[in-house]
């Protein structure tokens, strides 16, 4: 069995991205190197040669180092077949769908994620983002970053409600030096249920407008390769539940 085929059965929870918020200053380098370069990096993730592979058995993941000279240095690859695993709905396809929804909403929270086969096994290849920090529960920025950070936290909860991600925790929320929110691990999103993971107390109205503007045709054309009809319908049902929550907040 090749080293790639051994990795094919592993679940990966090891990649990262940036959330929408205050852009980095020269003294605070941000990690979102893909912004404005989506197609370039997506293609590289699909085709770049993997020159070495590091497996993380305890974390059920692997990291691939790419040949020098490209736009990114490393990627994470995961291959979780759609279905119920350890009591949870999971799928590598959910990672790709989450990135596509992130692009529709112009959030830049999910790193570039594409379909890629390794040794004939389908999976999701995602940019490994450099220069990030694990988020501690007590972490909170001071000064000019505070308002932007709080806005990102609201956006994160709204995003998770829309995609039905029940697995957001301190192990899969990261940040960069510019306090840009970085979300990882969406394998448990887009399950068949329509309940909302979060009870919101605040709403970002700009994001809600973008969510409310999504059409079924738009979701079908963007997500049909990764989600079935019921999963796409559940996105719209969760949106209606979000609308009901917003009505309660406005009273």
pLDDT at 58: 53
What confidence score (pLDDT) does residue 21 get? 40
Mean pLDDT of 116-131: 89
Domain ranges of the chain: 3-250
Tokens of 248: 């309660």
Q: Which helix (H) or strand (E) holds 82?
A: none
Q: 127 or 81, which is more confident?
A: 127
Chain segment 176-216, per-residue pLDDT in tens: 999 999 898 999 999 989 999 999 999 999 999 999 999 99
pLDDT band at 57 (very low <50, low <70, confident <90, very high): low
* Exposed e or buried b per residue across 103-131, where buried means at least 16 C-beta atoms within 10 angstroms of its C-beta: ebbebbbbbbbbbbebeebebbbbbbbee
Classify residue 29 as left (phi > 0), alpha (psi -120 to 50) or beta: beta
Whole-model pTM: value is: 0.86
**pLDDT, position 59:** 54
Kindly report the average pLDDT of the chain as a whole number. 85
What span, in angstroms and rounded, lies between the C-alpha atoms of 242 and 126? 29
- Smallest CA-to-CA distance from 178 within 34, 73, 37, 32 is with 32
Percent above pLDDT 90 for the chain: 59
Q: Write down the pLDDT at residue 156.
A: 96
Q: What is the pLDDT of residues 65-97, one digit of tens each?
A: 999 999 999 999 998 888 887 778 899 999 999
What is the token pair recorded at 107? 């959030």
């Amino acid at each position: 069995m090749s080293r790639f085929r051994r990795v094919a059965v592993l679940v990966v929870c090891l990649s990262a991205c940036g959330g929408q918020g205050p852009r980095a200053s020269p003294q605070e380098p941000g990690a979102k190197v893909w912004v404005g370069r989506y197609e370039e990096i997506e293609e590289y993730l699909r085709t770049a040669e993997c020159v070495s592979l590091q497996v993380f058995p305890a974390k059920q993941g692997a990291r691939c180092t790419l040949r020098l000279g490209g736009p990114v240095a490393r990627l994470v690859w995961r291959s979780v077949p759609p279905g119920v695993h350890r009591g949870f709905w999971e799928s590598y396809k959910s990672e790709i769908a989450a990135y596509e929804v992130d692009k529709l909403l112009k959030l830049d929270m999910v790193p570039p994620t594409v379909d890629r086969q390794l040794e004939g096994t389908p999976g999701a290849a995602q940019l490994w983002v450099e220069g990030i920090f694990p988020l501690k529960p007590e972490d909170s920025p001071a000064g000019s970053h505070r308002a932007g950070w709080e806005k990102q936290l609201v956006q994160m909860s709204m995003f998770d409600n829309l995609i039905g991600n029940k697995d957001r925790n301190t192990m899969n929320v990261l940040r960069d030096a510019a306090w840009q929110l970085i979300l990882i691990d969406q394998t448990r999103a887009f399950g068949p249920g329509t309940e909302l993971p979060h009870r919101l107390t605040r709403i970002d109205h700009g994001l809600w407008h973008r969510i409310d503007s999504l059409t079924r045709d738009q979701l079908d054309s963007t997500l049909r390769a990764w989600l079935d009809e019921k999963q796409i319908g559940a996105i719209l049902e969760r949106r209606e539940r979000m609308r009901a929550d917003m009505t309660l907040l406005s009273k």
